[in-house]
A and B are shown apart, each in its own frame.
Chain A
Amino acid sequence: MTSPAASISSREAGTVARRPGAGVVLGEPDMWAFVLFECLIFASYFIIYMLYRMADPELFLRSQEHLSQDLGVANTLIMLTSSWLMARCVQAAREKKFEIASRQVVLTLTCGVAFVALKVTEWSMKLREGLGFSTNEFFWFYYFLTGIHVLHVLIGFVVLAVVVHQLRSPERRSQEIVETGATYWHMVDFLWVMIFALVYVMR
């Protein structure tokens, strides 16, 4: 794994006195290129969802009633909390408190597992009610958007595992890799925020 020394030292300086607008991104710029491209892809999914929704708003409202708002909110709170823990991990690693940082990632990972477990529970409840992927247009999008998001969470587990691996041993501990992982995880978080609003709450 690469760990450009220059980027780490500028980071450390940043913790003491962050220069506003100095222009440092969290982690590798390459990960940001990925985040922006994912934003484009998800924007197209969201817009297509909305166009379909407006073709038959009644159907979407009737189907939406079958979703559990409470489970949706629980998922959102779990996701937001995991994101917060990850931000704390980045800060702790920056301050060289690697024990704490490592604990935060493990907690983030735990939140991620809880998120997926809740999602799978929710899907199996819907499937038992006879509401499957091919039930109607709303459920296409419900399963598709939540499904593709869960796939991103699963990829996130690999990313977080890499971060844990980095933090565990003094030979590694690349701040850049920790931050790159955090960038990915936060992306998964803010995409969920939009999915929650569009699929569960809007009318």
Chain B
Amino acid sequence: MSAAVADHTRARPSGFLGRIAWHWRHDPKIELWICWWVMVSFYQLFGIVFVLMTRVMPPPRPDWDQARIVQWFSDNHTGLLVGFGIIFLVAGMTASSNAIIGYSMRRMSVSRAFAYSYIAIYSLSAIPGMLFAGILLSVGAMRPDRDPRLLAWLYDAGFLTFVGTMGVFLIGTLVWMIAILIDKNRVFPRWFGYLNICNLLTEFVVAPCWIMKTGAFAWNGSIAFWVDTGVFVVYTTAFIVLLRRMVIREDFGDGPLPDPS
């Protein structure tokens, strides 16, 4: 084994593409790195599409009249359609984030039930969390001449499903939190376990968006949207960094694989 290590560390090239090729061929953690990079790219893409292209984040006002909503759809016609096209295409990238998080729970001293329930919950989270919004707002944007009452319904439905999907992320976060806090292997630091409480509580804080049309608790409100999104960004950044550390800490060696049977 030591001979093999010496052999390919010597061959490790320096160019960017060369390095990628080296990792592809020799890095024993390549699957984990692929999942990690796909996760990071997904969140970058998500930010670009939702903030810059579709203008869905920060959300427009819930109290607009029908004329203003029709105006919004036509202002953002191309951005909505192309942006959500990208999201439809890459929706499956979320699975790699769920896979690596599920894997993190397999490294913990907890039952497999945790990893499996996390993967099961999150395998469908993208649908109420963003794809319904994408479908409804795309359908709104594709026919600007549709009856304004129907456009207004698509607008409401699109934003409420996007902002107001709560239970999936609430229970999913809860499962991960419990796993982290009872884990004896310290795969994640305990502060991150506690940070899960903050993320979990945002799902309660956002609930009034189903009731309010203006103010701090509406779907574009300073509390229901801005504070919650701030917490979510901190939380997401934290787990991306921590998952990277987890992958770096993994030590498979690079000897022969265990016999699969």
Are any A and B Cβ atoms less than 8 Å apart in their complex? yes
Q: Given the complex of chains A and B, what is the CA–CA distance between A141 and B224 in angstroms?
A: 12
Chain B residues near A30: list those with CB within 8 A.
Answer: 189-191, 193-194
B223 interface contact, C-beta 8 A: yes
**What's the count of A-B pairs with C-beta under 8 Å?**
60
Q: Given the complex of chains A and B, what is the CA–CA distance between A28 and B217 in angstroms?
A: 34
Q: Given the complex of chains A and B, what is the CA–CA distance between A31 and B190 in angstroms?
A: 8
Q: Within A34-64, which residues are at the interface with B (CB < 8 Å)? A: 34, 37-38, 41, 44-45, 48, 52
Which secondary structure characterizes the binding site on chain A? helix
Stretch from A80-88, A118-126, A132-140, A167-175 that touches the partner: A132-140
Chain B residues near A2: list those with CB within 8 A.
Answer: 184, 186
* CB of B235 to closest CB in A, whole Å: 10
Chain A residues near B191: list those with CB within 8 A.
Answer: 29-31, 33-34
Stretch from B21-29, B117-125, B208-216 that touches the partner: B208-216
Binding site for B on A (CB under 8 A): 2, 28-31, 33-34, 37-38, 41, 44-45, 48, 52, 133-134, 137, 140-141, 144, 147-148, 151, 155
Binding site for A on B (CB under 8 A): 184, 186, 189-191, 193-195, 197-198, 201, 204-205, 208, 211-212, 215-217, 222-223, 227, 230-231, 234
Q: List 13 A-B contacts (CB under 8 A).
A: A28-B190, A30-B190, A30-B194, A31-B194, A34-B194, A34-B198, A38-B198, A44-B230, A48-B222, A48-B227, A134-B212, A147-B204, A148-B204
| CB <8 Å contact, B190 and A140 | no
| CB <8 Å contact, A34 and B197 | yes
| CB <8 Å contact, B194 and A140 | no
| CB <8 Å contact, A44 and B227 | yes
Q: Given the complex of chains A and B, what is the CA–CA distance between A36 and B183 in angstroms?
A: 23
Chain A residues near B205: list those with CB within 8 A.
Answer: 144, 148
**Given A38, A52, A151, which contacts B204 in the complex, CB threshold below 8 Å?**
A151
Q: Given the complex of chains A and B, what is the CA–CA distance between A137 and B222 in angstroms?
A: 13
Chain B residues near A52: list those with CB within 8 A.
Answer: 215-216
| CB <8 Å contact, B222 and A140 | no
Chain A residues near B227: list those with CB within 8 A.
Answer: 41, 44-45, 48
